[in-house]
Amino acid sequence: MKKTNLLLLFLLTFYFGYSQEKFKITYDQLKEYEGIYEYLNNTTLQIAASPKDTILYAIINESKYALKPSEKDVFLNMAKEKVIFLRDKASVITGYTSDEKTYKLISKKVIFPKEMWYPRLNASKDYKYVYQPPKKDLDGLVTGTLDNTGLDKALLNEMMQKIVDGTYQNVHSVLIIKDGKLVFEEYFYDNNKAKLHELRSATKSFVSALTGIAIDKGFIKDKSETVLSYFPDYTFKNLTDDKKQITIENLLTNQSGLDCDVSNPKAEGNETTMNYSDDWIQFTLDLPMVDVPGGKGMYCSGNPITMGKIIERATKMPLPEFAKQTLFKDLGIKNFKWNFKPDASSAETFCQVYLTSRDMAKFGLLYLNKGLWNGKQVVSKAWVEESLTKHSVVQGVNYGYLWWIKYLNVDGVKFNGKAAQGNGGQKIYIWEEQNMVTIITGGNYNSQSPSDELIQKYILASFSAKKSSN
């Protein structure tokens, strides 16, 4: 009996071990798939082979998405869907199929810089980080050193070591402003202080700021104005008295009541469906109501997108142009990219803004200073305070006007922060009690980002130790 059980156990172990063994492929074999390919909506994507982790990546705009090898010419994307590469009679790659659609290979002539795969390209195994104070630039930021900031140099050294050795992957930049000065600034992979970075949903907080400015300047009467009053030329489905009562404030607090909630897969307001629709405003405001305006907080990208369009209609100019003439001009932000076109042409760029990490830091500092920049009130103090005050609860987290009001725990000490954040690890955090702003950008798209952990363990921990000893 025992022999039979042992044999059965051996067979099961062999079977499951064999069946779960990953398909092996070399870096040189992966390079065969590299190139520029057709993609959805008449766009293109790049396929690149990483020499660092021997994984194939689909690169859409600036975002990298892993394709794990499954079998010959078959890879699994991050949703576990098959991506199958096609070959001609001569066994040459000609394209790929995904989701029952076929896309052609356009060109093999593409070069991927080695820097894009390594946090620090020439870092040796015995790499030791040496702190360098940020260099003063002509961008309006005051720079300083870590001396007398309360930040722990040893902790920051450890953080740097772990980012560079790959313990924390896909961290693109870390910046710290303390007591009004940029005292820490580091970039990784092929990122640098001049390179624009996508903000993803952190863009929402910029829409919030522009809403306040539009109200301050009299373009929008006040936050209690109804949303539908800005779209008299539209005819909306599921029109009810409740829908007619949705206000600008309801959009800002994600309390529109529309059937749109990223955490509910059954909600009609699916973000991907919206992205590929011809008119995101029509899509959003066509949705049925599942709650009263001002009721449950539901994370819905259609709300700030609609707010952006309201600003355009109120100011009679494109949203990026209004930003350029007001917020960006006052902050000295000249290098940016923002294609705000809420239709299918933005399906893969999400109407997001692209900024440098330094300019993200300036935005955070503006809000830390109650809307004041170089002596000018760029956003009214009242609007900043309202924006950073709890108005709703979204996904279990307190929420202001398109700002997250959240805390991080460090060794039992609670640190209260206000955050603009986006997919991939984009974080603009305001720490009022510490008089500090932290910026982290990253590339952990659709996966767990280490951004909050880095802030907890290596930045806030400096102040946690001091608090605990008091």
DSSP letter for each residue of 61-86: TTEEEEEEEEETTEEE-TTS-EEEEE
Domain membership of residue 385 (yes or no) is: yes
Distance CA 3, CA 42 (A): 62
What does the pLDDT look like over 105-119, one tens digit per residue? 999 999 999 999 999
pLDDT (0 to 100) of residue 187: 98
**Would the pLDDT of 469 be above 60?**
no
Domain membership of residue 355 (yes or no) is: yes
Distance CA 207, CA 467 (A): 36
> Is residue 347 located within the same domain as residue 443?
yes
- Mean of the per-residue pLDDT values of the chain: 94
User: If we measure between CA atoms, which residue out of 286, 420, 275, 279 comes closest to residue 362?
Assistant: 420
pLDDT (0 to 100) of residue 13: 46
Average pLDDT over residues 385-414: 97
CATH at 46:
2.40.128.50
Final residue in a domain of this structure, among 68, 90, 112: 112
Distance CA 296, CA 258 (A): 10
Q: Would you state the structure tokens that stand for residue 238, as one six-digit string?
A: 């599921």
> Is residue 202 located within the same domain as residue 64?
no
Domain membership of residue 179 (yes or no) is: no
Domain membership of residue 105 (yes or no) is: yes
Say if residues 191 and 62 touch (Cβ distance below 8 Å): no
Distance CA 417, CA 388 (A): 9
Say if residues 161 and 155 touch (Cβ distance below 8 Å): no
Radius of gyration of the chain (CA): 25
> Is residue 342 located within the same domain as residue 459?
yes
pLDDT (0 to 100) of residue 23: 80
Q: Would you state the structure tokens that stand for residue 89, as one six-digit string?
A: 């009679």
Host domain of residue 90:
17-112
> Is residue 351 located within the same domain as residue 448?
yes
pLDDT (0 to 100) of residue 17: 44
Say if residues 308 and 264 touch (Cβ distance below 8 Å): no
CA distances from 75 to 55, 83, 317 (A): 10, 5, 45
Say if residues 174 and 182 touch (Cβ distance below 8 Å): no
- 147: β partners: none
Domain tally for the chain? 2
Say if residues 377 and 371 touch (Cβ distance below 8 Å): yes
Distance CA 205, CA 379 (A): 13
What does the pLDDT look like over 67-115, one tens digit per residue? 999 999 999 999 999 999 999 999 999 999 999 999 999 999 999 999 9
**Would the pLDDT of 9 be above 60?**
no
**Would the pLDDT of 465 be above 80?**
no
Place of tokens 């001002």: 294
Domain membership of residue 127 (yes or no) is: no
Give me the helix-helix angle, 357-368 and 203-216, nearest 10°. 50
> Is residue 384 located within the same domain as residue 247?
yes
> Is residue 108 located within the same domain as residue 228?
no
What b/e sequence results for 278-313 when a residue is b if at least 16 CB atoms lie within 10 Å of its CB, and e otherwise? eebbbbbbbbbbbbebbeebbbbbbbbbbbbbbbbe
Domain membership of residue 433 (yes or no) is: yes
Domain membership of residue 86 (yes or no) is: yes
Final residue in a domain of this structure, among 112, 135, 167: 112
What does the pLDDT look like over 179-207, one tens digit per residue? 999 999 999 999 999 999 999 999 999 99
Final residue in a domain of this structure, among 112, 135, 162: 112
pTM for this one?
0.93
Distance CA 26, CA 383 (A): 55
What does the pLDDT look like over 405-445, one tens digit per residue? 999 999 999 999 999 999 999 999 999 999 999 999 999 99
**Would the pLDDT of 297 be above 70?**
yes
What does the pLDDT look like over 359-389, one tens digit per residue? 999 999 999 999 999 999 999 999 999 999 9
Helices (H), 217-351: 241-244, 248-252, 271-275, 280-286, 302-315, 319-325, 327-331
Burial of 85 (0-12, 13-18, 19+ CB in 10 A): buried
| 3-state helix/strand/coil string of 144-160 | CCCCCCCCCHHHHHHHH
pLDDT (0 to 100) of residue 21: 52
> Is residue 339 located within the same domain as residue 456?
yes
Domain membership of residue 392 (yes or no) is: yes
